[in-house]
Structure 1
Amino acid sequence: MSSTAALAQGTREISIDGVRQVFHVAGTGPVCVVHSGGPGIGWEYLRMPALEQHLTMVYLEPIGTGASGRLADPRDYRLDTYVRFVHGVVEHLGLPKVFLLGHSHGGFVAQRYALEHADRLAGLILFATSPVTGPEFWADAVANVNRFPERHPDRQEAAEIPQAFQEAAAAADDKAYTEGLRRILPAYFADYWAHEDALEPMRAVLKAWIDPMRGEEPAPFDVRDRLGSIALPSLVLTGAHDFICGTRWASMLHDGIPGSRLTLLADSGHMGHLEQPEVFTRAVAEFARA
């Protein structure tokens, strides 16, 4: 298939290793493949209409979510699997190079892809992510969640977030995982309630699937000692109030990747593309042009 046909606007579907991979094409300009966070969260929250004025965005529905296929064994939802599916889409597009944008867990996928397939990338965009997880990473996230009510003392919903976070982490099925994610969503913003009218419709339709959470990695994610080998133009973005992938982890990425750019979204949490869309769009568009 020609790259023109592969990049026709709308929803596309291909098969990779016998599993359905769905993606959505929108916008105009250089091609940017987008991998959302999770694992197991629907892609729609990451739609970036303003950026589609500058780039042709190829939004993946990660395997195990949405209309994409499911793996027979949930333990196979690992980073190397996601990387293989990203590469399948890149190969299908038929272009020498594309940009790759990864958000949160999608940023882990993007880092691994850049380390394995740098020759296929024009640039790497790491949005609200980290080069490492593990006990210290998660302890920091939990501590930030527990402090979240202090930032919004007049919001009863904020007071309930720490308990809701524990319950979401213990979800055993798709319904409980989805409901838990919707309950804790305000924690992913600097001030959810300042944008509540615009965000509530997204919250109401947000969906999540539990099986991708059951993937078994052979070792904890940690690429800090390999960041120096990434010779790609790279942009790191994070929100100053991101409870899970904030400035500490973004600085590790920026310091570790030679020549990378760092953009701090001062009034955002984990969802800077929704809280500060103009600043976010300008940073990514200028990076791509450069």
Structure 2
Amino acid sequence: MSTEVRTSPWSGSVSRLNLVHGVHECTIDGVRQRYHVAGQGPVCLVHPGGPGGHWEYLRMPLLENHMTAVYVAAVGAGESGDLPDGEYSMERFAHFVDALVEHLDVPDVYFLGHSAGAFAGLQYALLRPGRLAGLLLYSGAPVYGPDLYTEAAAQMRLFAERYAGHPGVADVMDAFESQTPRTSKAELMDHMGRLLPAYFAEFWSRQHEFQEWLPTVDIEYAPAAYPADWDVRESLGEVGVPTQILAGRYDFICPVRWAEEMHKGIPASRLAIFENSGHFAHVEERERFAQTVREFLRG
């Protein structure tokens, strides 16, 4: 694998060349893998969701004073390359995580995955027991497929009840229930924009607080069929690394029930529920989210 260091607006560095602050690139299985380094402290890979989400929405400045954040541009999205065979799977994402961990070449690495990034992190912890110093599963689930969708539909009905009478609810529900195929990035971004209020505990009344963050939301259209039958619920007891689970009380797509199930199944795991958050606790409850992660890293 080759590494290329690029310039960036971030200052400072750590001792290893492939962890100097800025933009880096390596090649894994012939595919371009890009990542961005910022902060200081324990090394933590930060993996976005989607699948297909760009990494920028997940940047966490409050934590960069306490950890060296390695923001992963996941394969199939934006800066990194696409898989030539189009065969995306949780196992494949975990393989790329493993190769990137080996590339960084540091003894202790943490992993923080959000949404589908948490799926990849959970799969990686099962693939390489003991390789991580710690695992943070943020707004994730141990299953991806019909059970996840059924639970999301139930949570969307609760969302509609909670905001009954609000003029924006009808469009959110129409977007959620739409069966129109989205075959381009533009269509996917439009769909995401219409759904976005449902991803928050309180979007409309706090929208002004999110104005700087909202432009960072970007998701890539990927023609690949992501796995609809990934399910590791029966394997949770095999996760043998310290694990912090983080969940928003009003998360509709990865609701608290999945966090509780992972907490019950993963030995000695910790669970933090953010009572005033949906899918994006690092935006909705920044200070408490950062504190929870800091405490886990110190522990």
Asked if TM exceeds 0.5, the reply is yes
1:220 aligned to which of 216, 229, 240: 229
Partner of 2:280: 271
Question: Are 2:126 and 1:118 equivalent residues in the alignment?
Answer: no
Counterpart-to-counterpart distance in 1, 2:124 and 2:22: 25
What's the TM-score, normalizing by structure 1?
0.93
The Cα of 1:210 is off from its aligned counterpart by: 1.9
Counterpart-to-counterpart distance in 1, 2:24 and 2:239: 30
1:4 aligned to which of 16, 20, 28: 16
Question: Are 2:74 and 1:62 equivalent residues in the alignment?
Answer: yes
Aligned AA for 2:273? L
The Cα of 1:270 is off from its aligned counterpart by: 0.7
Partner of 1:253: 262
Counterpart-to-counterpart distance in 2, 1:133 and 1:216: 9
Structure 1 residue ranges (4+ consecutive) displaced by more than 4 angstroms after TM superposition:
none
The Cα of 1:169 is off from its aligned counterpart by: 7.0
Partner of 1:90: 101
- Cα 1:169–1:95, aligned 2, differ >3 Å: closer, same or farther? farther
Counterpart-to-counterpart distance in 2, 1:169 and 1:3: 50
Partner of 1:49: 61
Counterpart-to-counterpart distance in 1, 2:57 and 2:278: 14
Counterpart-to-counterpart distance in 2, 1:216 and 1:101: 21
CA offset digits 1:176-233 (Å, max 9, x no partner)? 0111111211111001123312323433452222216x3353x711111111111211
CA offset digits 1:243-288 (Å, max 9, x no partner)? 1211110011000011000001010001111000111111110011
User: What SS class does the counterpart of residue 106 from structure 1 fall into?
Assistant: helix
User: What SS class does the counterpart of residue 262 from structure 2 fall into?
Assistant: helix
User: What SS class does the counterpart of residue 142 from structure 2 fall into?
Assistant: coil
Partner of 1:105: 116
Counterpart-to-counterpart distance in 2, 1:98 and 1:56: 10
CA contact (8 A) 2:21 2:38 kept: yes
Uncovered stretches (5+) of structure 1, i.e. residues with no partner:
none
User: What SS class does the counterpart of residue 115 from structure 1 fall into?
Assistant: helix
What's the TM-score, normalizing by structure 2?
0.91
Question: Are 2:47 and 1:38 equivalent residues in the alignment?
Answer: no
The Cα of 1:3 is off from its aligned counterpart by: 6.5
Partner of 2:167: 156
Counterpart-to-counterpart distance in 2, 1:21 and 1:54: 25
Question: Are 2:39 and 1:27 equivalent residues in the alignment?
Answer: yes
- Cα 1:131–1:43, aligned 2, differ >3 Å: closer, same or farther? same
CA contact (8 A) 1:182 1:206 kept: no
**Worse overlay, 222-231 or 261-270:** 222-231
Aligned AA for 2:18? A
The Cα of 1:164 is off from its aligned counterpart by: 1.1
- Percent identity for Structure 1 against Structure 2: 43
Aligned AA for 1:225? E
Partner of 1:211: 222
The Cα of 1:80 is off from its aligned counterpart by: 1.6
Counterpart-to-counterpart distance in 2, 1:102 and 1:169: 29
- Cα 1:7–1:172, aligned 2, differ >3 Å: closer, same or farther? same
Uncovered stretches (5+) of structure 2, i.e. residues with no partner:
4-13
Counterpart-to-counterpart distance in 2, 1:257 and 1:169: 38
User: What SS class does the counterpart of residue 143 from structure 2 fall into?
Assistant: coil
CA contact (8 A) 1:78 1:216 kept: yes
Counterpart-to-counterpart distance in 1, 2:23 and 2:178: 34
The alignment's C-alpha RMSD in Å is: 1.9
- Cα 1:204–1:29, aligned 2, differ >3 Å: closer, same or farther? closer
Judging by fraction of residues, say which structure has more helix: 1
- Cα 1:124–1:168, aligned 2, differ >3 Å: closer, same or farther? farther
User: What SS class does the counterpart of residue 119 from structure 1 fall into?
Assistant: coil
Partner of 2:27: 15
- Cα 1:243–1:173, aligned 2, differ >3 Å: closer, same or farther? same
**Alignment: residue pair count:** 287
Aligned AA for 1:221? W
Counterpart-to-counterpart distance in 1, 2:210 and 2:178: 22
